[in-house]
Structure 1
Amino acid sequence: MPHQLVFATNNRHKVDEVSAKIGDSFKLLTLDDIGCTADIEETGLTFRENASIKSRFIFDNYHLDCFGDDSGLEIDALGGEPGVFSARYAGAHGDHPANIAKVLQKMEKHTLRTARFRTVISLIWEGEEHFFEGTVEGTIRHGASGTGGFGYDPIFEPAGHHITFAEMSMEQKNSMSHRARAMDGMIAFLKETSPNPLQRRRL
Structure 2
Amino acid sequence: MATFQVPTRATVSEANQAIFDNLESGLGFVPNLYATYAHSKNALGNYLALSNAKTSLKAKEREAVNLAVSQVNECEYCLAAHTALGKMNGFTDEQILELRAGRASFDAKLDALVAFSRAVTINRGKPTADVTDAFLAAGFTQENLVDTIVLIGDKTISNYLHGVTQVPVDFPAAPALEEVYA
If each structure's strand is expressed as a fraction of its own residues, which one has the higher value?
A: 1
Q: TM-score range by the shorter chain?
A: under 0.3
- Say which structure, 1 or 2, has more relative contact order (CA 8 Å, 6+ apart): 2
